Amino acid sequence: MKRSPVCLIIFLFSFLLIENVAFSKEVVIIFSGEELGNLEPCGCYEGQLGGISRRYSFIDLFRNKKNVIFPVSLGDLPKCFDRQEEIKAEMLCRAMNEMGYVLHNLGEKDIELNPQILSFLSQTNGVNLLSSNIKIAAPFPIKIDQYIIKEYPVAGHSFKIAFLGILSKSLLGSSVVDYVKVSEPVKALKPLIKQLQNKVNLIVLLSHASLEESIKIAKSFPQIGLVITGHNRDEPMDAIYVNNIPIVSPGTGGKYIGIAKYTIHDKIAERESVEVFPLDRTYNDSKEMALLLKEYQQILFDEDLLSKTPQAPLPNGLSYVGSFACGICHKILYDHWSKTIHGASYNTLVNAGHQYDPECIKCHTTGYGDISGFLNYEKNQNLINVGCESCHGAGSGHIKNVNDVYGLTDEDSCGMCHDSEHSPKFQFKEYWKKIEHPEEILEKLPESIE
């Protein structure tokens, strides 16, 4: 059957219109960084930000809109290099893999991990490790990419984004320098950018460095389209522009997440916006990440990390006796304490399923981290909760001689747990009213109650 010229014109016009619409595509680069081991808000106060569960839901919003998304991580999975942080680094890698992250740029705290752990992470997770200026001569093979190119088809064409990443040498400690070779960032990037600039449509740099160093790099390479930087401050930084190159930071602790939106026209990436958003209660906790967090707590239990935490000796041979022993003489105070938040602090961990988490247990029990202090529930039920000795010190000396001056405390002892991270609204006078001891009248005490 022959088609009329009018039908043919309509068909060709429709085809061109469809192709043109398809050629205009939105690309979203989602970025986070400097996790510092923060898998989820600890729950110590209302309004906490961050967590992998909320991040999963945030990224899903863009995935469900069928955007082309590229989630990337700036660096620093752990905050130090003990066993718990190694476990958290693995959990974060698994979480990012499930969220569809394409890469994790190495930070100095990643480098300080046990090389065997870093080797494991580089070969068993779907998230590629990136560094354009780092080479590691470790006894275990560690797969690190100098750059990563991602491409996708748009109306019969291929659009390509290249991701590069650097780590400032100034951030590395002396203990790792012997097996880590660090090149000066500008020197390392120069041949790579020259190689990539005519092969890709957009170059993105993850700069694990100070803002000043990131600005210097941006000035050196006008070919870069976006710089994601860190190590400036805890809070995120709105984009600043150097030669029209946006430089932006997502802050630390995984509390915020950034997005850079681009619209693709004729292989040209037109920047629409670069913004950073707080991961607050606007975003629901995802079921997928809830399962991973539950598995994390189970690993802490299975490895019995509570009992493996080093214990420091107490001065003068003192030891903890537990709040019940205090209550023998100080019944009024004991009864009052047992009705305060301190007197039920251990149960808050049990209800949250975090009673085997060393990071949490220290501020919800008595003497954890000290010899004779809380070790685990089975051995030290008398030391659960924030007890008398949490504020007044180990009480064995007072038990031996009740007439000795004991237990003087002040606001500084509160700061051990009521710090800026876990209790930012802490005001001593206001908080003291919640636990202030009632008056008591003590009969003349024996010199010893042993």
Q: All domains of the chain, ordered by start, with CATH?
A: 23-296 (3.60.21.10), 312-435 (1.10.1130.10)
Confidence bin at 11 (pLDDT 50/70/90): very low
| Mean pLDDT for the stretch of residues 226-255 | 93
446 pLDDT above the threshold of 80: no
Q: What residue has token string 């019995």?
A: 304
Confidence bin at 24 (pLDDT 50/70/90): low
| Mean pLDDT for the stretch of residues 121-128 | 90
Q: How far apart are the first and last CA of the chain?
A: 109
| pLDDT for the residue 447 | 53
pLDDT digits (tens, 9 = 90+) for 27-72: 999 999 899 999 999 888 889 999 999 999 999 999 888 789 999 9
| pLDDT for the residue 393 | 93
Structure tokens at 352: 């949250």
Q: Name the average pLDDT for the chain.
A: 89
Judging by DSSP bridges, how do beta strands 180-182 and 202-208 pair with one another? Answer: unpaired
| pLDDT for the residue 445 | 53
pTM above 0.85, yes or no: yes
pLDDT digits (tens, 9 = 90+) for 83-103: 999 999 999 999 999 999 999
Confidence bin at 363 (pLDDT 50/70/90): very high
